[in-house]
Structures are given as C-alpha cells and as structure tokens.
C-alpha cells in the first residue's frame, strides 16, 4: 500500500457538505482507505479573487492505486459531485488535488508530484499540518508544518470553521 495526501476544496453551494461527500465517496472505493481527515477551513481565493471564499481540507489515505489511477478516481468523484469546467483558479463545486504520494517525485503531462504549488499555499498546508505535521515534502525536504511556518502569519488567509 502507498500513502497519499489529498487536498479538497469547494466554493459553490454546500461547500462543507460537498467536501464531506467527496471523502465519503473516496472511502467507498475498493482501492482507497481513508486514514485521517482534517478540520474544514474557510480560505481566501488564490489567483482570481472575485469569487466566494473556499472551504478546504486535507485527507490522508492508503491506496493500492498507482498515482495515475488514483488521479482518475479523484476526477470521477469530482464529476459525480457536479464539478464543471471553469477557468484557472475559478470557482468550483469540488476540487480534489493529489498532493503527495509516498515520497515520489513525478512530472507527467497530467500529473506532477508533489503538487507543484502546495509549499506556497496556506490553504493546503494548514489542514495538512493539522493531521500530519511531520509529513516531509519530497522536494523541499522539510515538513509541512515548517513550510506553513514560513508563510505565517496566515490568519487572514485561513480560518478553521468546522470539525472533520
């Protein structure tokens, strides 16, 4: 089994409900075992700012799926939960990002591991540091809690709003 970390987000409709539904759907997949989920955080949008705030969280899982097959499973969950195409950094019903897969470093046309921007994003690092602060970023060689500390203060960007 491989270990993976996912980031989840939504800024349309029932944001927390949709994120919880995504975790539930992932837990129902035969090749995925959800190990732990973070609290839910309300976060400011990045890139395109003229949109509603997001709800973000993180999930740790064990999987028998390869990284491309896990990505396919994530995309299917997004589709079932109503994700529609928008523009880069635009609003979305649900967003599931594969952040880390073991200590694999990978750069394929449709999948880069670790997630290329995760070390600069408080909305990724805050929930991930809550559930596994000692997780080491395979490129930077630093823990997610250290990477989050580098970004502080982040209170104006990320605010815990609900339990898992």
Banded model confidence at residue 13, pLDDT cuts 50, 70, 90: very high
Mean pLDDT of the chain: 94
Give me the percent of the chain exceeding a pLDDT of 70.
99
90 with 69: CB under 8 angstroms? no
pLDDT computed for residue 85 by the predictor: 73
| 97 catalytically annotated | yes
Determine which helix (DSSP H) or strand (DSSP E) holds 133, and give its type and residue range. none
| 20 catalytically annotated | no
- Mean pLDDT, residues 137-161: 94
Write out pLDDT tens, residues 41-86: 999 888 777 889 999 999 999 999 999 999 999 999 999 998 887 7
pLDDT computed for residue 87 by the predictor: 63
| 95 catalytically annotated | yes
d(CA 74, CA 144): 22
d(CA 85, CA 120): 24
pLDDT computed for residue 103 by the predictor: 96
Q: Which of 106, 112, 99 is nearest to 144 (CA)?
A: 99
111 with 65: CB under 8 angstroms? no
Among residues 20, 92, 110, 150, the one annotated as catalytic is: 92
| 83 catalytically annotated | yes
Among residues 15, 18, 20, 97, the one annotated as catalytic is: 97
Which CATH architecture best describes the domain 2-162? 2-Layer Sandwich (3.30)
């Amino acid at each position: 089994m491989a270990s993976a970390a996912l980031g989840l987000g939504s800024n349309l409709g029932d944001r927390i409900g949709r994120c919880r539904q995504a975790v539930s759907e992932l837990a129902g997949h035969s090749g995925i075992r959800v190990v732990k989920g973070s609290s839910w955080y309300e976060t400011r949008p990045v890139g395109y700012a003229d949109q509603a705030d997001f709800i973000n969280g993180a999930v740790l899982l064990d999987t028998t799926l390869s990284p491309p097959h896990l990505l396919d499973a994530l995309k299917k969950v997004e589709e079932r939960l109503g994700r529609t195409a928008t523009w880069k950094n635009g609003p979305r019903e649900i967003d599931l990002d594969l952040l880390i897969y073991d200590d694999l470093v990978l750069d394929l046309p449709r999948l880069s591991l670790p997630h290329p921007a995760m070390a600069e994003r408080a909305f990724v690092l805050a929930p991930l540091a809550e559930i596994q602060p000692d997780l080491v970023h395979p490129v930077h060689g630093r823990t997610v809690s250290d990477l989050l500390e580098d970004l502080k203060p982040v209170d104006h960007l990320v605010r815990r709003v609900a339990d898992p």
